[in-house]
Amino acid sequence: MDGLLINSEDKLTDTMNEILSRYNRPPLTAEMRCRMMGVPGSSNSDQFHEWARLPIPREQYAAESHKLMYKKYTESKPLPGAIELLTKLSGAHCPPQKGSVELAIASTSSVESFELKITQPETRRLLEMFAKNRRILGNDPKLPNHRKKPAPDVYSIALSVINMTRPEGVALIQPNECLAFEDSAAGVEAARRAGMRVVWVPHPMVLAESDEERQQQVLAGQSGQFELGDNHQLGEVGDGWGECIGSLSEFDPTEYGIEL
What integer is the mean pLDDT of 225-254? 92
Between 260 and 81, the more confident residue is: 81
CA–centroid distance for 197 within its chain: 14
What is the structure's pLDDT at 34?
81
- Does 58 score more than 70 pLDDT? yes
Q: What pTM value is reported for the model?
A: 0.92
Does residue 96 surpass a pLDDT of 70? no
> Residue 55 pLDDT more than 90?
yes
**Among 21-30, 51-60, 221-230, 235-244, which is the least confidently predicted range?**
221-230
Is the pLDDT at 98 greater than 70, yes or no?
A: no
Average of per-residue pLDDT values in the chain: 91
Q: Are the beta carbons of 242 and 197 closer than 8 angstroms?
A: yes
Residue 84: phi, psi to the nearest 5? -65, -45
